[in-house]
Structure 1
Amino acid sequence: MPAARSAKPAPQRRTEILDAAQHLFATQGVQATSMEDILSRVGIAKGTLYYHFSSKEEILHALISRTTSRVAERARDVATSQEPTIRRFLLIVAAARVDEPERRLAEELHAADNAAFHVLSIVETVRSLVPVLTEVVEQGVCEGVFATEHPREVVEILLTSASMLLDEGIFAGEPQEAQRRAAGIVHAAETLLGCEPGALAPALERLS
């Protein structure tokens, strides 16, 4: 006689489903993973799975939202730290680079069939970081570290360009090309932010 399934709080069950789906998407591919695969890995009734998510696409949306929320949380922690303004700026930009296991899922989104979700992940990351980074730039303007009349717009331009130009799934090429683009983005950031030349040089190591 099979063992009875344990009832778990909805948030815990939702997390289990997302964790299982993330593992499957990263290891065997988004397109190759079915709802049945996710169901089997979690070990729950079909009705329970569909109570939380109506489709694989909805699960992927939720995974992207979860990842960007974690990125934003790290960024907010940095923004409220006692680090100097320029260092906080650099650390927040670095916070956009996810670690395992999110990194493996991000790499899977580079596949052509997942292009829409790939773009969505970039857009959501930019949206989550813009308000946090804008606040830091505004503080820098007050301190005289930065000099721009358009903090939010500058942040949007820099985050969007960095996210697109340095994404290996969009601009594939030789390592030196990525380094060239990173150097260009840092130069553009210093120009648009109105800070001292070389002030953002430490960003090159993080971006390239």
Structure 2
Amino acid sequence: MGNIARTKDPQARMNEILEAAEQLFAVQGYYSTTIRDISQKIGVAQGMLYYYFKSKEDVLETLLDKHVNVLLFEASTIQTTVQAPSEKIASLLSMVLQKAMYKNGLLLNMIYDVQNLQVKQKLFLRIEEGLSPKLTAIIEDGIKQKQFSVSYIPTAIDYILTILEFLSLALYQRTSPRILTSRIRMAEKLIESTLSSKDKSIHIYTNANR
């Protein structure tokens, strides 16, 4: 039996299940992985997994939710740094894209799978609801510092989040580095225009365009 059979802490058991599932999803894909595969990897009966998760989709949603929690925590950290508002916007968007590329796009593959549209919608809504107040605070600070000029902040945030989803989709589609860089440069200009900030004040980066 693996460690999961010896530990009595429910949260520790859930974490071990999620870690095993993520490893299998990365190697053989979400749809090719079964609950039996996960249980065999950690050396327990299938019934034990069903005690913690209703289904494989429940495992997936919990796994994605865990990554979103980390993303939102890092977004909060960026919001409270001493960077200029434009740098905070760039750092926040860059961080989200870096998270999207986790394990060679594993999370994007699971999110954008056509059979997981409901999961994708729920996840994107949670990210939107989590990032919106942080972006609002950064934009308000930028307005106070006269770096930004925004007449209606919620609309500006809608544009920024739409651009972020556009770039995430490009990463999922494994767009060539040249085209991806071109799209990122265009995204930067659109965000600068949305915020009425200085030209080249927003610089978004990923591993592909560094």
Bin for the TM-score computed over the shorter chain: 0.7 to 0.9
Equivalent residues of 1:31, 1:113 under 8 A apart: no
Aligned counterpart, 1:190: 192
Distance 1:20 1:6, change over 3 A: same
Between the aligned partners of 2:179 and 2:76, the Cα distance in structure 1 is 31
1:82 corresponds to 2:76: no
| Cα 1:46/1:127, change in 2 over 3 Å | same
Q: Is the 8 A contact 2:87 2:201 kept in 1?
A: no
Structure 1 stretches of at least 4 aligned residues deviating more than 6 Å after TM superposition:
none
Identical columns (%): 22
> What residue is the counterpart of 1:142 in the other structure?
144
2:12 is aligned to 12
Q: Shift in Å at residue 112 of structure 1?
A: 4.3
Q: CA deviation at 1:104?
A: 2.6
Once the two structures are TM-superposed, the CA of residue 55 in structure 1 deviates from its matched residue by: 0.2
Measured in 2, the distance between the counterparts of 1:60 and 1:126 equals 19
Residue in 1 aligned with 2:29? 29
Higher percent of residues as helix: 2
Distance in 2 of aligned mates of 1:89 and 1:173: 23
Equivalent residues of 1:67, 1:102 under 8 A apart: no
Instruction: Point out where structure 1 has 5 or more consecutive residues left out of the alignment.
Output: none
What are the ranges of 5 or more consecutive residues in structure 2 without an aligned counterpart? none
Offset at residue 135 of structure 1 (A): 1.1
Q: Which residue pairs with 2:134 in the alignment?
A: 132
By how many angstroms is 1:187 displaced? Answer: 1.3
CA contact (8 A) 2:139 2:153 kept: yes
Query: C-alpha displacement at 1:113, in angstroms?
Result: 4.2
Aligned residues: 204
User: 1:22-61 residue pairs with structure 2 within 5 A?
Assistant: 22-61=22-61
**Offset, 1:107:** 3.4
The alpha-carbon distance between structure 1 residues 183 and 94, as it changes in their structure 2 partners (threshold 3 A), is same
Q: Sort the Cα spacing of 1:45 and 1:167 in 2 relative to 1 into closer, same or farther, 3 A.
A: same
Tell me the amino acid that sits aligned with residue 150 of structure 2: T
Cα 1:27/1:110, change in 2 over 3 Å: farther
Cα deviations by residue, 1:33-87 (Å, 9 ceiling, x for unpaired): 0111111112233332112101001111111111111111111011112222221
* In structure 2, distance between residues paired with 1:177 and 1:102: 18
When structure 1 is superposed on structure 2, of 25-34 and 166-175 the one drifting more is: 166-175
For 2:166 and 2:118, how far apart are their aligned partners in 1?
14
TM-score (norm 2): 0.83
- 2:109 corresponds to 1:92: no
Q: For the residues of structure 2 that align with 1:11 and 1:167, how far apart are their CA atoms?
A: 33
SS in 1 for 2:83: coil
Matched position secondary structure for 2:132 = helix
2:148 aligns to what SS in structure 1?
A: coil
